[in-house]
Amino acid sequence: MRIALTIAGSDSSGGAGIQADLKTFQAYGVFGMSAVTAVTVQNTQKVYDIQEMAPAIVARQITCVFDDTSVDAVKIGMVSSVDLIKAIAGALADRDLPPVVLDPVMISKSGYPLLRKEARSALAFHLFPLARVVTPNLFEAQLLAGFEIINLEDMKRAARRMIDMGARQAVIKGGHFQGEAAVDVLFDGRTFKMLSTPKIETRSTHGTGCTFSSALAAGMALGMDFFDAADRAKSYVTRAIAQAPGIGRGSGPLNHMVTP
């Protein structure tokens, strides 16, 4: 059985973070392991508080997994501080790494900051060079690339910027653009590909970014190439949104039990 390791924060409402990642791995038939970077106090309405784990504990969680098992993919999600970023980079450095998918989580849907401002450059400097793929949404891509994204050509330019910053491949997620379709831009350093699906009118969108990146990591753990894994991940997320269980009074979770 293939193994995927998620390095991310815990979501008490179960819709995002470690919980979403593990559910997604399970849906793909991949055995999930985890290194918890933070415990959040949140529900579908908002994030109320965050307690970071000690960086040394996070690093030891990662190290002990690699020391005992053969990891086929790594997904990195919420890492809010410079010290956590450095600890993760140190635990992953000098290894023969499997595909690493980095989701640069910066802010919750309710507006709670999940990545400290001073940690943005550290994220790019320490973790981008370790990443096979980075998966920012439009807001995150703008902050990382340093320019406004208003059209498809800007998304392509941002994808190139992610490669220049050290990643090997990039997905710029365009779901926040106005319009009837959710268009993502994929770039592997040579070739661009667009993925487009009709938008679904729903409030059940909590954890979409976490779910996409963990689905992408699971696909790569199973041996899929970048473009195929991203295509399947987007289809999975679209079905998970369409069949969302309608939990909570705010932005509810997806249905991670759909078939990838």
Burial class (CB in 10 A: 0-12, 13-18, 19+), 165: middle
Active-site residue identified among 6, 24, 37, 208: 208
CB contact at 8 A, 36 and 58: yes
| Residue of 15, 17, 209, 252 marked active site | 209
Q: How far is residue 174 from each of residues 71, 85, 162, 179, 222, measured CA to CA in Å?
A: 30, 26, 15, 10, 26
The answer to whether 175 is a known catalytic residue is no
Is 210 in the active site? yes
Selecting among 6, 32, 210, 238, the annotated active-site residue is 210
Catalytic choice (6, 37, 135, 205): 205
Would you call 64 a catalytic residue per the annotation?
Answer: no
Provide the β-strand partners of residue 170.
Answer: 134, 187
- Tracing tokens 């002990």 back to the chain, one arrives at 64
Catalytic option among 40, 173, 219, 234: 173
Catalytic residue check, 207: yes
Rounded Cα gap, residues 213 and 30, in angstroms: 14
φ/ψ (deg, to 5) at 215: -65, -40
The catalytic position among 207, 211, 238, 252 is 207
State the catalytic residues.
173, 205, 207-210
